[in-house]
Structure formats: structure tokens, C-alpha cells
Chain A
Amino acid sequence: MTDITAGGVSPPIRRVEFETAESKARLRRRYRSEARFKAYGIAALVVAAAFLFALLSSIVMRGIPGFFQHYLVADVLVDAAKIDPEGKGDAATLRAGDYTAVARAALAEAIPGVEGRQLKRELNGLLSSGAGDALREMVVADPSLVGQRVKAPLLLADEADVFLKTSGTKIRVISDTRGIATPSATTGEISILVGANDFADDVALVKAELKALADSIDETIARRKARGATVESLADLEREATELRRRHAAAATSERLDAKTASRLVAINGGLVKVKEMTPTLVKGEVIIPLKSTADAAPGTWEIRVYETPESNRNLNDRGLAFLEELKAKGLVESQFNFAFFTRGDSREAELAGIQGALVGSILTLLVTIGLCLPIGVLAAIYLEEFAPKNRITELIEININNLAAVPSIVFGLLGLAVFLNFFGMPRSAPLVGGLVLALLVLPTIIIASRAALKSVPPSIREAALGVGASKQQAVFHHVLPLAMPGIMTGTIIGMAHALGETAPLLMIGMIAFIVDVPSSLTQAATVLPVQIFLWSDLPEPAFKMKTAAAIIVLLAVLFLMNGLAIWLRKKFERRW
């Protein structure tokens, strides 16, 4: 600078025009680019928020039905012959009674007259294998109910439950029938002759469906060919498509119905018939709910019910669906809040599965974790922040802690597997080992948070304590640590929330076993909530998908509570020095 002025050479003065059209355009361009840049930032935040919203809303929508369960609320005859045939009346006998049989009897009463083993099995299949559990509790609590009629909720099986929770299948009812219908019998395989061509439209519809099916098979074949599938592997599909096209093109007016087309049922004379074959004026089929008589049914008194979703695309077949619709029409099906979800362990039956085992497992595991990593973490932080000499070893420890905080969690699982299980021979799947692994995992987090909390306590506190004659340790433990405690607690809660959501390392040490019992000790096999979520999410049943989402809601609720507590602590005890 001084050189230039000393040299006396002044830089040339450049005039900048702000009023020309060119510079105005340039300015506008710069402002536009400014606005654009700002908009990118807003857009990024909006996308992140939108993702969070999509995630939470999708989980909530899937999960809310998982908290409810459908029951058949029927008048149940608590039959002494099935429960307490010898009339002992003590709790053990009452507990051992055959309540499933009682529940089935109540169901048979609700839909009377069902014949045939197959049909009866389908009907009983609507009830869960634990249908009588609620009734058992009622009877054990009040033995005078034996021999009485009581209104009891009987748990429905998961297929029926899911069907009722989701939109199920669309049911189209054609009630303006034009002909007189005459059934040939009241049960078994029957035919129904109709005086007008009421089924002509449906036969045409079925033909259209067949064509649509053939087209979709052709599309699949084309797609597989594009992916390089061999001709032989597609032969079956091609045969099927050809057959469907033949049926579509055939002039024959008689059409067979199968599981791939919409199902059609005829409700007549108080019974229900599943159509297997139909012409415009005659249908043949199988009775699901027995007819009251073989009398002629006048036009309009009988109806055709079309279940639009083909049977093969549903979890509930036509018979089960027909029974369920009948129970629903009688007002016997009720949805109730599923308290058992919180009081049962895992189960293979979706409607009986609960999260209590996983919750208790999580609590036990976290107890071990916090019991280890809170004292160790705080003491380590005190050492590093207050006592550590500045030397190579301290530096090594610090680098180590920072690196450890970023090591993938699954590597901690490998550590647990190789060291705790294999080397020390600790029990597999135990909350003790899970807690140990998680403690090592969150230790760096707690050390870093505790150091920050200790650092935020001003040196004047230490100096004052030292000044009145306290030793260095007395100054730290009596004065600095209590003041840093809120910050340490906040960090610990956040660390625990992290540990609660952790899954991968626990899979490595075998906490993935299917465990029905609620764990009662630290060395018993257990599972934890996130692992339970992972296990359920792998199961194919839709009911388990709902349970998974419901368990996720519980997990997220606990996490939000923990984080809320941490924020509240921070706000309440935050001190500006």
C-alpha cells in the first residue's frame, strides 16, 4: 500500500454506470439469482419436513388399526359339561376348561345349520385359537357364571380381523332381480333355476374379466421375456392365457367361476349359495348358509351378491367372507381397544401377539446400559475435563472417544459376539449382554455430552472452592459436578433414547430369537422393542404389518417422551453464567 502512494501512481478511476439498461438488467438478474438461492434453501427444508410427515403419517395410518381388535360379541352359554364336567368349581379346573369349544358353540348358534366338515372348519376358522381367553378370565373371576349365558367378547382370527379393518372387498348387491328363482335343495350342491335371464349381464362380465386376465398374463410374459426369461419357463403362462382366451371367445353361454374372477353368491330363502357355474337363467353352486326351504322366491326377494375382489387375491375365502358378512349383518361383530397388545408376549398368531415381552426386555437392557455407562461416562468425562494431564496418552484417549462415536453400530455387535459371548461365555440373547454392548455404544455420546456440561461451568466456581481450601477433587465433586448435572442428565437421556432405538448390534448377539415368555431376569433370553419390530416386519401376514406399525408408534412415543424430558430438563435448569 505504502509503496503505491509513495510512488505517486494513482490507480485509474473507473466509472460505474448504475442507470443504463444493461446494468439495471444485471441487477435484476442478481436479485433473481438471490431469490432463487433462498428458495433452494426453503425447498430443502420443506422436502425434509415433507419426508418426516410422510413417514409419520404412513406409520400412524398403518399402525392405528393395530391397537384395535375385532371380537364376536355373542351370548355364550358357559357349558358346565365343557368347562367343569365334575362340578369341582375350583380355579385350577375352571382355568383348564375347554373354552375354545364353548366359543365355537356360540358361533354355531349365531349361524345355525352349517353342515359339512369343510364348511364347519371355515366357520370355526373365523375365531382365533385364543378366542376363549377373555371368557376364561371372566369365569375364573366369577365361578357362578358356569351354566349361565353371558355376553362375552370372542377374539376373531387375524384374517377376519384384517378384512374388517381394511376396506376388504367391494360387495356389489343386485337386488332388482326379475325372475322367479327355484332352488333344488336346501343344503349341499344345488342348482337354482330362474324365470328370467337375470345372470346374462354377469356372464358377459365374467367373459370380460377373462379377457382382462389373459391380457395381464400376456403383459407378464412380455416383461419376463424382456428380462431374458427362457421360453420353457413361460410355457405354463402361455397355456393359461390361451385357455382364458378360448373361454372368452367361446359361444357357450355357460361359464364356470374360479378363484381368479370375482365371486358371485345368491342370497335366497334366508340362505346363501356360492355360484360355481352359471348360464343366463340357471346357476349351480354350493350352499354356504342353509336355505330355509326350496320354495319359489319371487322377483326382488332374492339377490345376487358380487364380491369384486377375486378369491385368490384375498386372505379370507368366499365361505369365511360370507360367514363374516352374516355375523356383521346380525350386529355381533365389535371393534374394541386391544389392551392385550400391552400385556401379552410374542405369538405366532397375529391376533394374540403383544409387545409386553419386548417392552420388559427393553427396560432390562436399558437398566444395564444406564447402570454401566452413566457412572463410567461421567467419571471418564471428569477425568478428561478436570484432571487429565496434557500428554500423548490423554490425546490418544480423546481421539479414541471421538472415533468410537462414529464406528458403525453393527461393529459393536461383532465385538459383543466375539468377546462377550465367545470369549467370556456369557449367555446368548440375554439383556445383560445387550445392555453391555449398548453401554459401550453410547459411552462416547455420554462422555462427550458430560464434558460439554462440565466445560460450561465457569472456572470461578472451581477457583472459589479451591480458594476456601477445598482439594481439587472436593471442588469438582462438591461444586462443579452438581452444577453440570442437568447437562449430563440431558445427554444421558438422549444417549438412552439412542440405545432404545438400536437394533443391529442386538441382532448379532442373538436377541432375535422368538420368545413368548416375558423375561424376568438379566440372563434370560429376551428380545427388545426394535428387534420385535424387525421380526414382525418380516412376517407375511398383513395383521403383523399392522402390529409392526403399532409397535413402532409405541417406540416413537417413548422416544418422543424421552427427548421431550431432555428438552424440558435443559429449559428448566439451563443457566447462563
Chain B
Amino acid sequence: MAGWYALVVVALMLAGFALARGRAQSVAGGNYAGMHSLPSYHGLYTASLAFIPALITFLVGSQIAGYLATQSAISALPNDIQSDILRQGAALREAVNIVRGGPVGAASAEVQSAAANYSSALSAGQWITLALGALAGLAGLSWGLSRVSMNFRARNAFEKLVHALLWICATIAVLTTVGIVFSVVGETYRFFFDPAIKGKPTVFEFLFGTEWNPQAAMRADQGDIQTAYGFLPLLTGTLLITVIAIAVAGPLGLFSAIYLAEYASPRVRSVAKPVLEILAGIPTVVLGFFAALTVAPYIRGWGETFGLNVASESALAAGVVMGMMIIPFISSLSDDVINAVPQSLRDGSYAMGATKSETIRQVVLPAALPGIVSAFMLAISRAIGETMIVVMAAGLAANLTFNPLDAVTTITVQIKTILVGDQEFDSAKTLAAFALGFVLFFVTLVLNFIALKVVQKYREQYD
């Protein structure tokens, strides 16, 4: 169906363009200089006038057709299924699967008839939509054609439409943020306050609880495992891995940046920069594989030679590899900041007889400090939000510990664990993942916002 829609829309646009341009050419009769807009602008304007109503009709119409088809499918179901929301949903899914040719179980006669209803109503609705859309497009097209004249400002009119399109594209980023906020805040609110959700914690229990166990005991013989949504073990786990990562990446990234910005010859830079860029471009799933299969056993073996008990999914392994991931991030941001420090400050320091390292330590770094701090903040926000490395190399055990040799779990690991696989949107467990997502989004947003503000302020200082 989407193919037919596209075909009709494209045909209308092409027709509109060709007709309007032809009419403009005949109206001008060779006197293009006396015409306000070129014929092709008349064509483009008319094509857009055909396109916009047709597109809107299709978008609205297909939604309505889907809704009506669902209603007609429901009406074919027996009353007892209609009254039960859960069974109704299941039957509908089955019917839609039959229509789409997806995986089908042994469907009952009611579901079969619901599927037949759905299919006939849907195709009728879609054909009506198609016809209405084509009509709307034709109406737009003829209106556009009627406006073609020597004095009509077709270019200005078309440019207004383009301007609107540009604005819409620019606001999609805002819509994305709105979508994120809408999805995480809405579900988080339900997690804490929706009375229909069973087993949910209070906000206080969530923020200060020390037990995290979203999976309740399924059978009686599994003992008295209680669901618990205490956020603290996840927080400490995330912080532990982040601290390790920053402890690795901070010095390494900062010193590489200093060396590259202040000491390195162009030749060294031309080798070292790509190395860091390659490191930055390696997908995190690859780093996670490396962390789990190479680094973790290595750290474990190394720990055993010193008689230490190292968990096979230790926080150290995940943290070290995450640190490696962050090095290029810190180094490139710090590099920019150090390069932005005016040369006059360095020259002043050299003139007083300071060595290069003294200049860097006592003049350049203090001047660049706000920028470096914000680089670290962005790095921390990235470490907190990183998922694949910790999913593959850190564990699932929500231990409340600060020992880097133990297994810990993080916010992102828990989100992934809860949401992968089938989930129903009415359980506290699924909503808990969105609450975690909200925390994650909020924390990283604050960190980024502060860091960006600091950088902006600092740039203005030296510009």
C-alpha cells in the first residue's frame, strides 16, 4: 500500500511541475524578463501544493483506516473476549499476524473471522484514503495551476515553503528530546505513582534501598527472594566502574593531549592522532568482547599470583577497558582547549626563564583548567552511559561494594537485562528500567549542560 501511496504522490508532483511550468511558459510567451518568477519556480510551487495535501491525507487517513479496521476486528470477536482487555489484545495480535502472514498458531474460528474483517476493512480504508489523497492532491494542483500569471511571486511562495521545511528539520532534534522526556518521565511516573502497578517501591525506597532484585521468586522452592528496587548498589557499581575508567583515562588522556599540543613535531602528531582516532572509532561491542575474553582473565590470573580473589567479571576489567575507550575523548577535547590558550601567555612565561614544562604546569594548564574540567565531565557522562562494555564484562550481581576486584552491576546493564526479551508494559519490573533510564538521562544531561556552559564561557574569555 505504501508503494501505491508513494507512486501516486510522485505522479501528482511530476504532473504538477510539468503542467505549471508549461502554463507559465505559455503565459510568458517568451517574455521571461517581464515575469516575476521563472517558470520552473511556478512548477515547483504547484508540485508542493499537490504534495502537501496528498501527504497529509495519507498520513491521517492510514491511521484512521487502521483504527477502523481494528474496531471491525473487535466486533467480530465474541463478547467475553471483547470485555477482557488482555484476551482482546492477544486475539487482535493473532488476527493481525494472520493478515500480515507472520507466525501463526492454530487460530480459532473467531480469530479467523476477526482477521477477515480486519483485512477487508483495512484494504477498504486504504483504498478510500488513496482516492481521497489523490483528490486532495489534484485540488492543490489545480489551485496552483490557477495562480500561474506574470505577476505571481511563485519564487517567494516556494521559498516560504522551503523555509518552513528547514525549520521543521531543525526542530526534529527538539522533538527527539521531547520524545525521550515523554517516554522516560511518563513511565517513571507510572512506576512510582500508578496505583495499578503492583510491587512498586516508594521514591524513598528506590533512592536509598540497598537491595536490587527486580526478578521475584517464580516458584515456592526458590526461597524467599523478594523483589527489591533499591537503587544504591547500581549507583555504587556505576560509580566504581566510572572512577576506574577516569583513573585510567584521565592521566593518559591529559598527558597525551599535553604532549601532542605542546611537544610533538608535526610528524609525531600525524601518527599519534590517527591512532587515537582509530581507538575512538572502535565499536564498544568489540571493546566489550576484548574486556570479557582477554582483559578479565588476565586480571584474574594476575590477581591469583598475588593470592587475591578476583571475580571473573570484575569491575576492574570493565573499568580499565572503558578507560581506554575514553582516552581519545579526553585527549582530543583537552588538546583543543590547550591549543586555544593564547600564545602570548606562553611567550610571557618563557621570557621569564621558565622551562617548557614549568610553563605548561603553571601557566597553560591553569588557563585551560575550566576546559579540561568540562572535558572530564563529558568523559564521566560518557562512562556512566556506556552500555556494551559493562554488559559484556561486568556482572549482573547487584553487590554494594567498593572493591574493584568484585563483580558489580551498573544502571545500563540493568536496563538492558530487564528490557531485552518480551516485556509487558504494566509490570513494575519493566517500568523500573524506564526509571533507571530517567536517572541516566537526567544525570548525563546535567553533566553535559554544565560542561557545555563552562566551555562556552571559557571560549568567550579568550576570543
A residues in contact (CB < 8 Å) with B: 30-31, 33-34, 36-38, 40-45, 47-49, 51-52, 54-55, 58-59, 62, 223, 226-227, 375-377, 379-380, 382-384, 387-388, 396-397, 399-404, 406-415, 417-419, 422, 440, 443-444, 447, 471, 473, 497-498, 500-504, 507-508, 510, 512, 530-531, 533-534, 537, 545, 548-549, 552, 555-556, 559-560, 563
Contact = CB atoms under 8 A, between A and B. Distances in A.
B119 interface: no
B255 A380 contact: no
B287 A55 contact: yes
Contacts of A407: 180, 385, 441, 444-445, 448
A402 B176 CA distance: 13
Given A55-B282, A379-B166, A37 B180 contact: no
Nearest to B441: A411
A537 B180 contact: no
Given A55-B282, A440-B176, A41 B259 contact: yes
22 contacts: A34-B358, A36-B357, A38-B357, A41-B259, A44-B251, A51-B279, A58-B290, A59-B286, A59-B289, A380-B172, A383-B166, A401-B173, A402-B452, A408-B381, A410-B440, A414-B180, A444-B173, A497-B281, A501-B282, A504-B416, A530-B285, A555-B286
Given A55-B290, A410-B440, A400 B166 contact: no
B256 A410 contact: no
B437 A380 contact: no
B170 interface: yes
Contacts of A440: 176
Contacts of A379: 165-166, 169-170
Contacts of B174: 396-397, 400
A501 B285 contact: yes
Interface string B264-275: 000000001001
A382 B166 contact: yes
Contacts of B283: 500-503, 530, 555, 559
B177 A408 contact: no
B420 A507 contact: yes
Q: Most chain-A Cβ atoms within 10 A of its Cβ — which of B252, B255, B358, B392?
A: B255
A500 B286 CA distance: 12
B73 interface: no
A380 B357 contact: no
Interface stretch (B74-82, B144-152, B181-189, B215-223): B181-189
B416 A31 contact: no
B263 to A, nearest CB: 6
A223 B388 CA distance: 31
Nearest to B262: A41
Given A407-B441, A411-B440, A504-B388, A383 B279 contact: no
Closest 10 CB pairs of A and B: A408-B385, A41-B259, A501-B283, A418-B183, A37-B357, A44-B255, A383-B166, A504-B387, A379-B169, A380-B170
Contact of B259 (A44, A223, A396, A406): A44
Interface stretch (B24-32, B121-129, B155-163, B339-347): B155-163
A563 B445 CA distance: 29
Contacts of A563: 277-278, 281
Contact of A227 (B286, B309, B327): B309
Contacts of A54: 294
A117 to B, nearest CB: 37
A545 B293 contact: yes
Given A48-B256, A399-B452, A530-B285, 8 more contacts: A44-B254, A55-B286, A379-B169, A408-B386, A414-B415, A443-B172, A473-B159, A563-B277
B23 interface: no
A38 B163 contact: no
B183 A33 contact: no
Contacts of A400: 173-174, 177
B197 interface: no
Q: Most chain-B Cβ atoms within 10 A of its Cβ — which of A34, A45, A537?
A: A45
A415 B169 CA distance: 19
B173 to A, nearest CB: 5
A504 B381 CA distance: 16
B463 to A, nearest CB: 15
A407 B361 CA distance: 33
Contact of A548 (B289, B385, B388, B391): B289
- Tell me whether chain B's interface is mostly helix, strand or loop, or mixed: helix
A401 B176 CA distance: 10
Contact of A410 (B169, B279, B357, B412): B412
Q: Most chain-A Cβ atoms within 10 A of its Cβ — which of B173, B186, B386?
A: B173
A34 B357 CA distance: 5
B136 interface: no
Contacts of B449: 399, 403
A537 B385 contact: no
A380 B387 contact: no
Interface string B413-457: 001100110000100000001100100110011001100100000
B425 to A, nearest CB: 6
B258 interface: yes
A207 B419 CA distance: 53
B337 interface: no
Interface of B: 155, 159, 162-163, 165-167, 169-174, 176-177, 179-180, 182-184, 186-187, 251-256, 258-260, 263, 272, 275-279, 281-290, 292-294, 309, 324, 327-328, 331, 355-358, 360-361, 378, 381-382, 384-388, 391-392, 412, 415-416, 419-420, 425, 433-434, 437, 440-441, 444-445, 448-449, 452
A86 B449 CA distance: 76
A510 B355 CA distance: 58
A549 B289 contact: yes
Contact of B176 (A404, A422, A548): A404
A34 B355 contact: yes
A466 to B, nearest CB: 14
A31 B286 contact: no
A403 B159 CA distance: 30
Contacts of A30: 355, 358
Contact of A38 (B263, B277, B358, B382): B263
Given A45-B256, A47-B252, A552 B286 contact: yes
Contacts of A552: 286, 289
Contacts of A508: 415-416, 419-420
A417 B285 CA distance: 21
Nearest to A55: B290
B356 A34 contact: yes
A388 B171 CA distance: 12
B341 to A, nearest CB: 17
A376 B168 CA distance: 9
B183 A415 contact: yes
Nearest to B415: A410
Q: Most chain-A Cβ atoms within 10 A of its Cβ — which of B167, B176, B361?
A: B176
A415 B441 CA distance: 11
A438 to B, nearest CB: 12
Contacts of A34: 355-358
Contacts of A47: 252
A537 B392 contact: yes
Contacts of A396: 174
Contacts of A382: 166
Given A58-B294, A447-B173, A410 B416 contact: yes
Contact of B173 (A58, A387, A397, A501): A397
B278 A533 contact: no
Contacts of A447: 173
Contacts of A560: 278
Contact of B285 (A41, A419, A533): A533
